[in-house]
Chain A
Amino acid sequence: MSQHARNLSRRDVLRAAAAVAAVGTVGACGKNDDEGADPNGVVTLDLWHGQVDLGKAAIDSLIAAFNQSHPKIKVVGGGGGVTADSMLQKVTAGLAAGSYPDIAYIFGSDLASLTKSPKVADLTGQLKVDGYWPAVKDAVSVKGKVRAAPALLDSLCVVYNKKLFAAAGVAPPAAGWTWDDFVATSKQLTDPAKGVFGTGWPGVGDEDTVWRIWPMIWDLGGDVVSGDGKKAGFDAVGTKALETLDRLRTDKSLYVDPKPGSEQLYQVFLGGRMGMVATGPWQLPELKDAGLDYGVVPLPSYSGKPITISGPDTWTIFDNGKAKVKAATEFVSWLADPAQDLQWDIKGGSLPITKATAEMPEWKKHSAATHGLDVFVTALDTAKVRPTISTYPQISQHVGEAIAAVLLGKQSPADALKQAVDQCNQVLAVPS
């Protein structure tokens, strides 16, 4: 081979190899050199975004824009063959087998468990956390260190069906309303003859069943875990929260969703059979599609002060070499910049990750065009998140069983709570 031809073909072969590695196996990560960059200095990143439909379109266009403006980094958003719901299982299997992506879309409640792996990158000091809402900063920090970047932000508010309220002659709710108001309103809206329920709650005992009760606990002065993290934090006040649910049950104004996934709950609402339901901003596009005349108010509380819960999802970076971690950090930071965050929020249905994005005129326009979106954003000021501890899944399971037992009328609130507290204390007694 001539000198000239040899140089040319080597480059072409390497480019081709980089392309194949990008499109093909995950296992090719880091194979080119210890640092992860190919000899041209281009770092390829595998992004398992778990998005479908509109979210996928949003992230795809963002990836294309990033690759254009950052020639030294190539993000491959193949999706990883998995949607967000199955992401944890696949990432866990990947970590166990040593074959994992560079960035993955991980639910906030799963983050703490994953950080037990040394392969989850530590991003402390790398991200502009000061611009985040306080809830967001808590959600991505585990044991004081920033372990992920925020991907999707939501908050829980109550959406109500204006037509059903009018038909029942009930005044629509307003911010500052109490749980007593909620229970009474729900009863007034219930119409067994027409098959209409006042409200609904998932009855399966899964995370969606549980996370709705935390704002009630927080409002009463309790918490998921005690200050030192060794005991359940809701033993004193949990009974009152469960009793509120029990009242809804005895009033027969509550539709208990028996199917895991909570879709049926919202489908009953979309079908005009439910007066009001607690949900997140992701519901709004569907409400528009269904042609429902709806209103949005903050969650009720016991004290009259606003409080809600936010459940951010994260971009978690995995360590496949220093160069890849650096490139991945650059990518997720770029995503959180107001210009990109804006696009992601508008097309992908998230709330603004930073206050700066919420101030942008384009966002204000979008918010004005989507009825009720501003209520979700305002709620972020008083939103809290679940603690980022690795025992949270087990705590959630026990609390979920207590709630389900109460909703199905199988246990009294006091008994159900005591059982949950005992089980959670056992879990928390094990050091982790």
Chain B
Amino acid sequence: MRRISGWHFVLAPLALLFALPLVWLLVSSVMSNAEINRFPPALWPHGIKLDGYRYVLGNALFPRWFLNSLVVSAVAVTANLVLGSLGGYAFARIRFAGSKLVLGLMLATMVVPFQLTMIPTFLVMKQLGLIDTLGALIVPSLVTPLSVFLFRQFFVSLPRELEEAAWLDGCGRLRILVSIVLPLARPALSTVAVLTFLATWNDLTWPLIAINSDSTYTLQLGLTTFQGQHHTQWSAVMAGNVITVLPVLLGFLLAQKAFIRSLASTGLKG
């Protein structure tokens, strides 16, 4: 027996307001080029035209671009989860000399904006021979100060008791992390996973600088080839955006299931 909660009256309009760009994308992705190319644009298409989708999906390199983006993002997410949780846990629970300094230094690398640092980063990647390969995209995103710090903050706010019990029983730190802390940290894991995936999936500036061959393009970079100096394939651009956004939203829909209050607190009674 479930009554319709009053919260729907708050959440539904809110969600709709936020969802506006998605609605816009979906509607304009099925318009013809000529319709979108008008200003002010038509608010409703004159019949559904899938030309944009055909253009994007028919592009011989599109599957390759999708795969490239998927590979980069998947590796980045995995690496961030592993390295970020390891580092975050150490900074949160282990006392070791220089930990505060090192954490501070890692955060300090974020103070110079990417618009400048991309040139020396390009130089470093060139020395490593990674330019024009997916490696140039993967290596800089294997772990970020954001992931490490986020994990640290979550672990700090977890109650220590479970870990302390295991610690006194003689468990090693690694086992504590893997068997006890991480299962409680599903929300944190999901958050870092989603944010890392988004950062790599949507990134355009760095792939633009680091990648030269069209078979190595990421999805976002490939989609820019539909926008010319004077003439843009708008229906293809919109269709491309829809195709780019949907996997992320789907992934998030699945990931947000992890945001359920954990039952950890019950383990502490008595």
Given a CB threshold of 8 Å, the question of whether A touches B is answered with yes
Residues of chain A touching chain B, judged by Cβ–Cβ distance below 8 Å, are 23-27, 46, 48, 50-56, 78-86, 89-90, 93, 96-99, 101, 263-264, 267-268, 270-271, 273, 280, 282-283, 285-286, 289-290, 349
Give CA–CA (A56, B224) in the complex, Å.
Answer: 13
B119 at the interface (CB under 8 A from A): yes
* Residue B217 CB within 8 A of the other chain: yes
Q: Which B residues lie within 8 Å of A83 (CB)?
A: 224-225, 227-229
- Whole-angstrom distance between the Cβ of B26 and the nearest chain A Cβ: 20
Query: With an 8 A cutoff between CB atoms, is B6 at the interface?
Result: no
- Sample 5 A-B pairs with CB under 8 A, ordered by A number: A24-B132, A25-B132, A78-B213, A98-B126, A282-B230
In the bound complex, CA of A350 to CA of B133 (Å): 34
A residues near B214, Cβ cutoff 8 Å:
78-79, 81
- Contact, CB under 8 Å: A90 / B39: no
A24 touching B224, Cβ below 8 Å:
no
Given contacts A81-B213, A267-B38, A289-B33, contact A52 B225 (CB under 8 A): yes
Q: How far is the CA of A270 from the CA of B131 in the complex (A)?
A: 42
Q: How far is the CB of B73 from chain A (nearest CB, A)?
A: 18
The distance from the CB of B60 to the nearest CB of chain A, in whole angstroms, is: 13
- Is B122 an interface residue when CB atoms closer than 8 A count as contact? yes
B56 within 8 A of A: no
Q: Which residue of B lies closest to A271 (CB)?
A: B38
Report whether A81 and B118 are in contact in the complex, using a CB–CB cutoff of 8 Å: no
- Cβ B119 vs Cβ A86 within 8 A: no
Look across to chain B and name the residue whose beta carbon is closest to the beta carbon of A267: B39
Q: With a CB–CB cut-off of 8 A, which chain B residues contact A27? A: 126, 129, 131-132
Q: Which residues of B contact A270 (CB under 8 A)?
A: 34, 37-39
Contact B231 A79 (CB under 8 A): no
Partner of A290, one of B34, B119, B126, B211: B34
Contact of A52 with B227 at beta-carbon distance under 8 Å, contacts A79-B214, A81-B212 already known = yes
Whether B129 contacts A51 by the Cβ 8 Å rule is no
Q: How far is the CA of A365 from the CA of B37 in the complex (A)?
A: 29
Cα distance, A27 to B129, chains bound together (Å): 8
A259 → B minimal CB distance (Å): 9
The CA of A264 and the CA of B37, in the complex, are separated in Å by 9
Residues of A within 8 A of B230 (CB): 280, 282-283, 349
Q: Shortest Cβ distance from B213 into chain A, in angstroms?
A: 5
Number of A-B contacts (CB under 8 A): 109
- State in angstroms the CA–CA spacing of A55 and B207 once bound together: 23
Query: Is B40's CB within 8 Å of the partner chain A?
Result: yes
Determine whether the beta carbon of A93 is less than 8 Å from that of B229.
Answer: no
B232 within 8 A of A: yes
Residues of chain A within 8 A of B207, CB atoms compared: 81
Does B132 contact A79, Cβ atoms closer than 8 Å? Answer: no
Within the complex, the shortest CB–CB distance from A24 to chain B, in Å, comes to 6
Chain A residues in 8 Å Cβ range of B232: 263
| Chain A neighbourhood of B217, CB < 8 A | 81
Chain B: which residue is nearest A24 at the CB level?
Answer: B132
Q: Is the CB of B225 within 8 A of A90?
A: no
| B234 CB to nearest chain A CB (Å) | 9
What's the nearest-Cβ distance from chain A to residue B164, in Å? 51
B226, A264: Cβ atoms under 8 Å?
no
- Whether B123 contacts A273 by the Cβ 8 Å rule is no
Interface string of B199-227 (1 = CB under 8 A from A): 00000000111011111110001001111
Q: Does B190 contact A (CB under 8 A)?
A: no
Query: Could you list 19 further interchain pairs (A-B, Cβ under 8 angstroms) beyond the known A97-B119, A99-B122, A286-B37?
Result: A25-B133, A26-B131, A26-B132, A46-B212, A79-B214, A81-B217, A81-B221, A83-B229, A93-B118, A93-B122, A96-B119, A97-B122, A97-B126, A101-B212, A267-B37, A270-B39, A273-B40, A280-B230, A290-B34
B5 to chain A, nearest CB (A): 42
Is B233 located at the chain interface by the 8 A CB criterion?
A: yes
- Residue-by-residue, is B113-130 near A (CB-CB < 8 Å gives 1, otherwise 0)? 000001100110010010
Contacts of B211 in A (CB 8 A): 81
Shortest CB-to-CB span from B238 to chain A, Å, is 14
Name B226's contact: one of A24, A53, A80 (CB within 8 Å): A53
Tell me the bound Cα distance from A89 to B114 in angstroms: 13
With A273-B39, A290-B34 already in contact, the answer to whether A24 and B213 are too (CB < 8 A) is yes
Separation in Å of the B17 CB from the closest CB of chain A?
A: 23
* Shortest Cβ distance from residue A31 to the other chain B in the assembled complex, whole angstroms: 11
The answer to whether A26 and B231 touch across the interface, beta carbons within 8 angstroms, is no
Q: Which residues of A contact B225 (CB under 8 A)?
A: 52, 56, 79, 83
A238 to chain B minimum Cβ distance, whole angstroms, is 28
| Chain A residue at minimal CB-CB distance from B233 | A53
Which residues in B have their C-beta under 8 angstroms from that of A101?
212
